[in-house]
Structure 1
Amino acid sequence: MLATATQRSATRYAFIAAFGGFVFGLDAANLSGAIRYISALFALDSFEVGLVATCSIVGVIVALFFTGWLCERFGRKKILLAIALAYSLSSILSALAVNFEMLVIGRFIGGVAFASITVSAMYIGEIAPADERGRFVSMSQLLIVLGSLVAFIVNYFLVKSLPTSTLFTEQNVWRYMLGFELIANVIWVASLLTVPESPRWLMGKGRREDALLVFRRTIPDRQIPATIADVEASIAEEARQRPLAQLRELFSRPYGYVIAIGAVYAVVQGATGMNAVLFFAPMVFEQIGMSVEDSFFQTIILGGTAVLGTIIAILFVEKWGRRFLTIAGLTLIFVAHLSTWHGFDSAKYRIDESAIAAIAEQGVDSSKLAPLSGRTYDSDVALKRDLASVYSMQELPLVTGPVINSTIDINPIFVLFGIFAFYAAFNLSIGPIMWVIFSEIFPNAVRSVAMPFVALVQTIAGFIISYFFPWQLENFGAASTFLIFAIVAGIGVAVMAFILPETKGKSIEQLERELVRG
């Protein structure tokens, strides 16, 4: 009975700590629906669209320089509370933005708050039993995809109501999309008040009795003496080093192997395109000729696919192991991106009288297409270039989807398989597993600087991909963009097969002995 009680407590604390992932999922997926309306309202070019989507990632990059120090100074719980409040401020500023600059500031603050994923992984890694850590850390990814699914559902019904609603319009619907997450923010703040501080942090501050109380609530009594002994040994070593000394230690020769694992995993996870697809999901579905409403409905199915993949990862991460799930997932991602590339590469677009009539039925001013009638395009790049010559920047985000929908000749199966397979594979492998591995491979002596460092690498990779994604679609086309993602995934499979060890079922201290001192 005691073991069941401790497991329940540890699960509840891990769930609450990871709930920031739900808020992030809401935020990213809400933006994917709002971006077309924001682009039209503020007349944004492709780089400005990329900045709206990725300025939050810039916030992450800034926050990661301070996250480790703040966590060591004030504790994991207080920093998670501060992050939850920052999310609330971001939601308010974004929803009430009156110009592009105010929106960017709001999104940037939300990015600062996204550091919660790193802090949550740190907290969960320090509070969870070794044989359950994989499932608990994976919980963050599950909550991200659940948040995304909820946002996709809300966005769909908001867009579906536009033709008949007197409350929602194309000028204000995005404000409701971005403001919706404030509800989740309030719930998270209230829940965080009920969790204890990390026992490893408490012991590091000399609060041994407080730490013992937390251990008694989260792990079986028989494991407590050995756990405390391991933690005390790690803290004794850590106490001899200040943050700068920890950085020097982290980049010293003994840590070369774990740094290589962390950095390579971070680059591969960030550069395979998940943030790009998440931030611009409706835009991607529009590329295969779906109506606006249908493209938003497809995001709901996409969100459900992500939830299913993450649940599989959580259920089997301890059985199948981190290494198998990583390599298998990356292989499927490689195949998925190749399928998407092939689908887009074979697409043709033709503007004729029937297409112009169909575009007009969707509420678009199709008279401007008259000079383009009779033209056939071998790529979406050429089509969009001509559309930009006849429509204004305010009109273009709203008309591109209906035009593609009425002019495209494509076999959508390859693209749909590719997008859904990628989303499922990412969320059953490198999405959640990366954070599991990060929480395991770095010893306590360098954890407070190592976790932010590898998260910084992942964030920079994700930023570069997401920022240039709208520009790539405009200038390279969808086919070439997904071919680049496929190449990254293929390289990732080869490298991970060579360097990634198995870490399941081992304590942080045991992994330190094997990977660092080995």
Structure 2
Amino acid sequence: MLSFYRSSWKIAFIVSLGGFIFGFDASVISGVIGFVEEEFNLSTWQQGFVVSAPTLGAILANFGAGYFSDRLGRKPVLIIIAVLYSISAILSAFAFSYEMLITARFIGGLAFASLILGPLYIAEISPAHKRGRFVSFNQLNIMIGFSAAYFANYLFLYFQDSQSSLALSLGLKENIWRWMLGIEAIPAIFYALLLSFIPRSPRWLALNKSHVAAKKVLDNIMSPEEAKHQWKEINSSQCNYHLPLKEGMLKIISPKMRAVLTLGLVIGIIQQITGINAIYFYAPTIFEQTGVGKDAAFAQAVLVGIINLIFTIIAMLLIDKVGRKPLMLAGLVGVCISMSVCAYGFSQAELNPQLILMGILGFVASFAMSLGPVMWVLLSEIFPNNIRALAIASVGVVNSIVSYLVQLVFPWQLDNLGASLTFAIYAAFALIGFVLVFKLLPETSGLTLEELERKLTPEMG
């Protein structure tokens, strides 16, 4: 039976590699920002813009991601995204001014639509009982990308300090941050090539009346029994017809969709407002505030990446067995406790770097097994078929706006509110999130997308 899932597993993994590039792109800036600050003499607000510029691009991209993926298909838009990542990396490496660097990173942010389209596509080609794990491939690759960026930054710093002949020939002393940003072009180009081999989404094909092609895709990537069941579910869907943009948006905000849309927005906001991207993007800066040196701060950032990876794998193993809701609730408890530990650690006259490190790692572990992977799984499955792309994109816009504000304001918070109060605010948001998730979130594991459609929006047509 496992052999029948080999194709869908491979396809899901290939598409999820966009998560790796996003993770690398998003976190590599944590090692770059200090060098860029010196080179371009940046203020704290300018530092915030350098870090948050991709998220600003993501806000714009998310507006169009749902529309273009519905019109052109998931596959072509994913390929465009891979090309944008490549262009951004190359332009960033050769940026000669603050403005050019902002522009290059903004272009990379346009590719952050992969966060929406990757899980969306994977959900549409996955067997129901493996959907949570397959969609979580995307989050796993994000974490691998984070870890790879932290590790690459640490290695570049190591070679720069070594004064080896290789470091001198590469110009690491003068251009280390350019190498940190530019190396991303290699996996981005590779990703674009791999995407050319994946099929179109069977559910997108069905929505566009290409029923023969849709059935052929299902037959090729699933067991005969699973393919037959999925095809039956697709045909029985209340929402098996394509909607124009205006009609689709009106459907999303209709009273019948209010409960599901509210759930999606709550989860999308909570994921970012608890401070995850402040930790990911400013990890070395945070660790340096505890009094450790630059090398130790970069080494601790590598540890953040490793913890991320371990607990994302744990989430992947549990998400289809334990369920989405228990993981979310447990993770939010962990986030609240961990941020409280950080707030306490920074409030002491004698800073305890180990206590703060434990708090940061606890936060990362809690996020990696809950809000990180589970949010994208939930968003990929709670919306009806014919508005799924538009609905996920709409929630993605809000998610990106909150992420942008968190990244932009964080340097100012550290300077004006202090680390202790900043982390206490994140802990309070996690507590609020726990209450909302407990009240609003139903369990969604084990059901096909069409079964969830009938369960969550029974009156939609």
Specify the TM-score bucket, using the shorter chain as the normaliser. Answer: over 0.9
In structure 2, the residue matched to 1:74 is: 72
Query: Aligned match of 1:40 in 32, 38, 41?
Result: 38
In structure 1, the residue matched to 2:411 is: 470
Q: 1:145-177 CA deviation, whole Å, 9 max, x = no partner?
A: 101111111111111222332344554110000
In structure 2, the residue matched to 1:106 is: 104
CA gap 1:286/1:451 in 2 versus in 1, 3 angstroms: same
Q: Where in structure 2 are the equivalents of 1:14-413 lying within 5 Å?
A: 14-165=12-163, 166=168, 167-169=170-172, 171-234=174-237, 237-239=240-242, 241-347=243-349, 409-413=350-354
Aligned equivalents of 1:208, 1:343: Cα separation in 2: 59
Higher Cα radius of gyration = 1
| Alignment-mate amino acid for residue 425 of structure 1 | S
Q: 1:426-455 CA deviation, whole Å, 9 max, x = no partner?
A: 011110000000011001132121010111
Aligned equivalents of 1:441, 1:100: Cα separation in 2: 41
Compute the TM-score of the two structures, normalised by the length of structure 1.
0.86
Q: 1:269-325 CA deviation, whole Å, 9 max, x = no partner?
A: 011111111111100110111110111011111100000010000001011100000
| Alignment-mate amino acid for residue 230 of structure 1 | E
In structure 2, the residue matched to 1:441 is: 382
Aligned equivalents of 1:480, 1:338: Cα separation in 2: 10
TM-superposed deviation, 1:411: 1.7
In structure 2, the residue matched to 1:499 is: 440
TM-superposed deviation, 1:507: 1.1
TM-superposed deviation, 1:205: 2.3
Q: 1:88-119 CA deviation, whole Å, 9 max, x = no partner?
A: 00000111000001000110010000101101
| Alignment-mate amino acid for residue 217 of structure 2 | V
- 1:342 touches 1:479 (CA, 8 Å); kept in 2? yes
- 1:6 touches 1:216 (CA, 8 Å); kept in 2? no
In structure 2, the residue matched to 1:403 is: none
Aligned equivalents of 2:50, 2:4: Cα separation in 1: 43
CA RMSD of aligned residues (A): 1.3
In structure 2, the residue matched to 1:479 is: 420
CA gap 1:451/1:23 in 2 versus in 1, 3 angstroms: same
Judge which range, 46-55 or 243-252, deviates more. Answer: 243-252
Q: Any idea what SS the aligned residue of 1:506 has?
A: coil
Q: Any idea what SS the aligned residue of 1:5 has?
A: helix
CA gap 1:342/1:208 in 2 versus in 1, 3 angstroms: same
Aligned equivalents of 2:29, 2:316: Cα separation in 1: 27
- 2:78 touches 2:195 (CA, 8 Å); kept in 1? yes
Judge which range, 53-62 or 218-227, deviates more. Answer: 218-227
| Alignment-mate amino acid for residue 220 of structure 1 | S
TM-superposed deviation, 1:326: 0.2
TM-superposed deviation, 1:508: 1.2
Compute the TM-score of the two structures, normalised by the length of structure 2.
0.96
Aligned equivalents of 2:319, 2:239: Cα separation in 1: 32
Q: Any idea what SS the aligned residue of 1:445 has?
A: helix
In structure 2, the residue matched to 1:392 is: none
Q: 1:324-383 CA deviation, whole Å, 9 max, x = no partner?
A: 000000000000000000000113xxxxxxxxxxxxxxxxxxxxxxxxxxxxxxxxxxxx
- 2:331 touches 2:366 (CA, 8 Å); kept in 1? yes
- 1:118 touches 1:451 (CA, 8 Å); kept in 2? yes
- How many residue pairs were aligned? 454
Q: Percent identity?
A: 38
In structure 2, the residue matched to 1:7 is: 5
Query: Aligned match of 1:414 in 339, 343, 355?
Result: 355
Aligned equivalents of 1:470, 1:224: Cα separation in 2: 51
CA gap 1:70/1:255 in 2 versus in 1, 3 angstroms: same
- 1:33 touches 1:282 (CA, 8 Å); kept in 2? yes
Aligned equivalents of 2:454, 2:380: Cα separation in 1: 15
| Alignment-mate amino acid for residue 222 of structure 1 | E
Aligned equivalents of 1:187, 1:413: Cα separation in 2: 39
Aligned equivalents of 1:202, 1:141: Cα separation in 2: 26
Judge which range, 169-178 or 298-307, deviates more. Answer: 169-178
What stretches of structure 1 of length at least 5 have no aligned partner?
Answer: 348-408
- 2:127 touches 2:226 (CA, 8 Å); kept in 1? no
Aligned equivalents of 1:5, 1:211: Cα separation in 2: 21
TM-superposed deviation, 1:7: 1.1
| Alignment-mate amino acid for residue 195 of structure 2 | L
- 2:156 touches 2:172 (CA, 8 Å); kept in 1? no
Aligned equivalents of 1:170, 1:470: Cα separation in 2: 26
Aligned equivalents of 2:424, 2:187: Cα separation in 1: 37
- 1:234 touches 1:445 (CA, 8 Å); kept in 2? no
TM-superposed deviation, 1:190: 1.5
- 1:41 touches 1:171 (CA, 8 Å); kept in 2? no
TM-superposed deviation, 1:236: 5.7
Aligned equivalents of 2:354, 2:441: Cα separation in 1: 34
In structure 2, the residue matched to 1:452 is: 393
- 1:158 touches 1:168 (CA, 8 Å); kept in 2? no
Q: Any idea what SS the aligned residue of 2:2 has?
A: helix
Aligned equivalents of 2:23, 2:119: Cα separation in 1: 16
